[in-house]
């Protein structure tokens, strides 16, 4: 009976659904986390009577036919990239991107990663780095005698040095955009890598056309809506239970059929 296999695909799909939801809930407090959304598609169909075929010698056409579905499969799990809320931290090197754009990070192997997590700090050499110590491109050094550091909405980094009354510009932070943000590959640690699906990065200064602005002293929060996630989890649980009930019912029907044969 097809029903048992169909219900099994339904249970597998809902298991994936719950796994995605659980990851969203686990990252509800992760800086700049984008919630994931699973998408499902139906599987192939078996045509017992193909629609549009002739049913008689008089060219009578079958109006609907008989098609039996074979279940469901996971098509994709994509990121919902809407802006998360901004939280005031008052930390000098905490930066939030308002709008589109990713900070560019140099990994130890020399490749470039991208992130919206603006939890930055200074290395022992005075360079602006991520929480993991990765260099934030283009590699900006803050002098050790700097009294204050200011990063404006356009990404310009200025410092006030001891004995000076005017600020000195020490660097410029740029952002990167992608034709398809959802195509970026998540690497963990809030980092993403370019892929063939994301397209090549387009870089520019914050505030220019197509790029968001930078807000100093703020961090972007996760865009997970806990109420929606719990609702989705309950719905997935119910769907899983219904599919398991189909398997139980199918098994009972097969037992009945077996008893009739005996």
- What is the mean pLDDT of each successive set of 10 residues along the chain, which is 262 residues long? 88 95 96 94 78 67 76 91 93 95 95 96 94 94 91 95 87 95 92 95 95 96 95 95 90 79 56
Residue for token pair 């219904």? 242
- Mark whether 199 and 122 lie in a shared domain: yes
- Mark whether 69 and 123 lie in a shared domain: no
Total domain count, the chain: 2
C-alpha to C-alpha distances, 178 to 184, 199, 200, 211, nearest whole angstrom: 9, 6, 6, 11
- Mark whether 118 and 170 lie in a shared domain: yes
User: What's the pLDDT score for residue 69?
Assistant: 80
User: What's the pLDDT score for residue 158?
Assistant: 95
d(CA 201, CA 198) in angstroms, rounded, equals 8
pTM attached to this predicted model: 0.84
Q: Contact, 23 vs 36, CB < 8 A?
A: yes
- Mark whether 186 and 150 lie in a shared domain: yes
Closest listed residue to residue 137, CA positions, set 181, 96, 171? 171
User: What's the pLDDT score for residue 256?
Assistant: 80
- Mark whether 116 and 195 lie in a shared domain: yes
User: What's the pLDDT score for residue 67?
Assistant: 73
Q: Contact, 174 vs 203, CB < 8 A?
A: yes
SS percent in the chain: helix, strand, coil, step 5 = 25, 35, 40
- Mark whether 100 and 182 lie in a shared domain: yes
- Mark whether 53 and 94 lie in a shared domain: no
- Mark whether 112 and 193 lie in a shared domain: yes
Q: Contact, 218 vs 153, CB < 8 A?
A: no
User: What's the pLDDT score for residue 51?
Assistant: 72
- Mark whether 40 and 93 lie in a shared domain: no
Residue span of the structural domain in which 40 resides: 2-81+224-261
């Amino acid at each position: 009976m097809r029903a048992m296999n169909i219900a099994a695909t339904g249970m597998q799909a809902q298991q994936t659904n719950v796994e995605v939801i659980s990851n969203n809930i686990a990252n509800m407090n992760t800086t700049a986390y984008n919630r994931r959304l699973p998408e499902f598609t139906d599987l192939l169909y078996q045509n017992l009577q193909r629609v549009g075929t002739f049913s008689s010698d008089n060219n009578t056409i079958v109006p609907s036919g008989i098609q039996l579905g074979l279940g469901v499969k996971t098509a994709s799990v994509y990121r919902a990239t809407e802006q998360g809320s901004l939280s005031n931290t008052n930390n000098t090197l905490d930066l939030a991107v308002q709008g589109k754009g990713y900070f560019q990070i140099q990994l130890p192997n020399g490749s470039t990663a991208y992130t919206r997590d603006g939890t930055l700090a200074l290395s022992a050499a005075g360079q602006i780095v991520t929480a993991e110590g990765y260099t934030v491109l283009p590699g900006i050094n803050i002098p050790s005698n700097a009294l204050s550091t200011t990063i404006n909405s356009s990404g310009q980094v200025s410092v006030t040095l001891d004995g000076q009354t005017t600020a000195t510009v020490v660097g410029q932070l740029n952002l990167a955009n992608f034709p398809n943000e959802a195509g970026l590959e998540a690497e963990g640690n809030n980092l993403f890598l370019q892929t063939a699906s994301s397209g090549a990065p387009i870089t520019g200064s914050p505030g220019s056309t197509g790029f968001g602005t930078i807000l100093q002293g703020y961090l972007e929060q996760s865009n997970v809506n806990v109420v929606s996630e719990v609702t989705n989890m309950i719905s997935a649980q119910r769907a899983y239970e219904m599919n398991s009930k189909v398997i139980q019912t199918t098994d009972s029907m097969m037992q009945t059929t077996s008893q009739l044969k005996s």
